[in-house]
Amino acid sequence: MRQVLVVSERVAALLKQRKETVAVAESAAGGLITAALLAVPGASAYCLGGVVIYTRQAWEAVRDFEEGLLEGHRSATEQNALIRARVARDRFKATWGIGETGAAGPTGNRYGDSAGHAWVAVSGPREQAVRLATGNTERLANMHAFAAAALELLEQSLRS
């Protein structure tokens, strides 16, 4: 978890410096992305909130788009991660949104993704997404890896 906290401190400093905000829609990371952002003192200046979209019911409660946008896209895909990032950004009226979706383990998900597979995305002044494949079946290690990757992607976006 230390790596995640180190990255979140850098992200927090950049967001504060730029006077920008972030919101999170995460799944397999289980709230660790949001928790890491909130662990930095002064988080209310940049972190507007987050939602863990772990089930279909949770997704239906927060989405505000047509179901057709996801048609043909499995859960742990680039498109789904980007949509989650956009929904977080729009719903919280943040500068940036982070989206994450994957399979933490110890087994894969029902869509055929293996444990350790995830997509993380950011949406804001620029959008990008990254696919992860840790090769690990250890659930907590994957959750930490997904959170770190999401925060690193935001940091990269803030620096470019």
From residue 8, alpha-carbon distances to 81, 153, 156, 159 in Å are 20, 11, 12, 14
Per the model's pLDDT, the better-predicted residue between 54 and 37 turns out to be: 37
Helix axes 139-159, 2-18, angle to 10 degrees: 30
Q: With bands split at pLDDT 50, 70 and 90, how would you rate the model's confidence at 73?
A: low
Determine the structural domain holding residue 153 and report its residue range. Answer: 2-159
Domain at 22, CATH number: 3.90.950.20
Predicted confidence at residue 38, as pLDDT, reads 98
Residue 110 identity: R
Phi, psi dihedral angles at 88 (to 5 degrees): -60, -50
Mean pLDDT value across residues 20-33: 97
Predicted confidence at residue 55, as pLDDT, reads 78
Mean per-residue pLDDT of the chain: 91
Among the listed residues 118, 123, 107, the one whose alpha carbon sits nearest the alpha carbon of residue 77: 118
The 3-state DSSP class for residue 103 equals strand
**How many structural domains comprise the chain?**
1
